[in-house]
Amino acid sequence: MATGANGAAQDRDDILQVNGVSKRFGGLQALGDVNLTVARSSIHAIIGPNGAGKSTLLNVMIGLIEADEGEVVFDGTPLRGVSPHNIIQRGIARVFQTPQIFPGMTLLENVAIAGFSKRDGQFTVNPHQSLKRSEVMDEASAILRRVGLGGKVAEDAGHLSRGDKRRLELGVCLAAHPKLLLLDEPTAGMARHDTNKTIDLLKEIADTGVTKVVIEHDMHVVFSLAERITVLAQGRIIADGKPDEVRGDPKVREAYLGGEH
């Protein structure tokens, strides 16, 4: 809270600021006074042991969970009180820890929905549609090719493997043209070969200027992607810095790297 007030003097280069966010679930302090800034166009990793509060932090960012205290500022405007679809419309996309897709629809439809969201998200009747249906469809199939699902456009999403579902969800997120992409363990459930492909894809997306926040357990992924790493343990930030700084931090070794791996 205290930092939230001062945080108003915001850095031009920060796309996202988390100011003093706390969240309790009953007696459990899932997040305690979390302060975090994400630099524009960077890849920012959040790591920490199971139950550290990583997913909860992302949930707070997109309004899925309301913080007890503190605020999230995206692109200069606080998100408190903004409804989830409007938060997304402002340019945030989220890949969930459990893949969230439309199982009974084709891959193409899955991605096209996101393509239509800019145009039709608010359900306003606009006779002068700038975006043509065929354009959305073409882009959707281009995105599916890009995430490596180009051969399956007409298949039902529900039949995909878990790794493919994750890739599809990434495609859905890309179709919304986000400024900030939040990824909750994007490579979980993937074989090493696919993991490497995903890393390449994420790097490629980052080159287009999209900011990314990645939660990841796989240290190989973290250290090959992240420009900055934040370490959470029991809802608190115990380290925050460049990969090398974090790697050498004894607190991190103790709380996370040592304990887990």
- Residue ranges in contact with other proteins by CB under 8 A: 55, 59, 62, 64-65, 83-85, 88-89, 93-94, 96-98, 100-106, 108-109, 112-114, 116-123, 133-134, 137-138, 141, 153-154, 172, 176
Minimum distance of ligand ATP from residue 225's CB (angstroms): 17
CA–CA dist 220, 226 (Å, integer): 10
- Closest residue to Mg ion in the complex (CB): 55
112 touches, from Mg ion, other proteins, ligand ATP, none (C-beta below 5 to 8 Å by class): other proteins
Contact 79, 42 (CB under 8 A): no
C-beta of 82 vs 257, nearer to other proteins: 82
Contact call for residue 59 and Mg ion (CB under 5 A): no
Name residue 16's amino acid.
Answer: L
Minimum distance of other proteins from residue 3's CB (angstroms): 27
Q: Which of residues 71-100 bind ligand ATP (CB under 6 A)?
A: 97
Handedness of CA 192, 194, 197, 203 (dihedral sign): negative
102 touches, from other proteins, Mg ion, ligand ATP, none (C-beta below 5 to 8 Å by class): other proteins
CA–CA dist 24, 189 (Å, integer): 29
Contact 105, 154 (CB under 8 A): no
Contact call for residue 37 and Mg ion (CB under 5 A): no
C-beta of 197 vs 217, nearer to Mg ion: 217
C-beta of 54 vs 94, nearer to ligand ATP: 54
Q: Which of residues 8-67 bind ligand ATP (CB under 6 A)?
A: 25, 28, 30, 48, 50-56
Contact 131, 117 (CB under 8 A): no
Contact 189, 216 (CB under 8 A): no
Token couple for 231: 């370490």
Q: In 10 A of CB 191, how many CB atoms?
A: 11
